[in-house]
Amino acid sequence: MTARIPQHPHRRFNPLTGEWVLVSPQRVERPWQGQLEELRPVEPTGWDPDCPLCPGNLRSGGQRNPPYTNTFVFTNDFPALRPQIGEDTTATDPLFRHQPARGTCRVVCFSPRHDLTLPEMSLIEIRRVIDLWGQQVAELQAHYRWIQVFENKGALQGCSNPHPHGQIWASDHLPTEAVKENDQQRGYRRQFGGLLLMDYAQQEMQEGTRLVDVHEHWLALVPYWATWPFETLVLPRQRRISHLPQLTNAERDDLAGLLKTLLTRYDNLFQTAFPYSMGWHGSPGTRDHKHWQLHAHFYPPLLRSATVKKFMVGYELLGEPQRDLTPEHAAAQLRALPVQHYRAFAARSRQTSATRRPRA
Choice between 38 and 115, residue whose per-residue pLDDT is larger: 115
Phi then psi dihedrals of residue 104, to 5 deg = -150, 155
In a domain, 291, yes or no: yes
Asked if 263 and 339 touch (Cβ cutoff 8 Å), the reply is: no
Give the pLDDT of residue 304.
85
Residue 11 lies in a domain: no
Q: Contact, 184 vs 322, CB < 8 A?
A: no
Q: Is residue 289 part of a domain?
A: yes
CATH number of the domain bearing residue 121: 3.30.428.10
In a domain, 23, yes or no: no
The answer to whether position 160 is within a domain reads yes
pLDDT at residue 31 above 60?
Answer: no
- 3-state SS class at 307: coil
Distance from C-alpha of 78 to C-alpha of 86, rounded to nearest angstrom: 18
Would you say residue 66 lies in a domain? yes
pLDDT digit string, tens, across residues 70-97: 999 999 999 999 998 777 778 888 999 8
Per-residue pLDDT, averaged over 254-280, amounts to 97
- Residue 22, in any domain of the structure: no
Q: How confident is the model at residue 146 (pLDDT cuts 50, 70, 90)?
A: very high
Contact in structure between 180 and 17 (CB atoms under 8 Å): yes
Positions marked active-site: 165
The Cα–Cα gap between 172 and 99 comes to 11
Residue 53 structural domain: 45-84+97-355
Torsion angle of C-alpha atoms 251, 255, 258, 259, degrees rounded to 10: 180
Kindly state whether residue 315 falls inside one of the protein's structural domains: yes
Backbone angles phi, psi at 205, to 5 degrees: -65, -40
Q: What is the pLDDT of residues 160-175, one digit of tens each?
A: 788 999 999 999 999 9
Domain count, the chain: 1
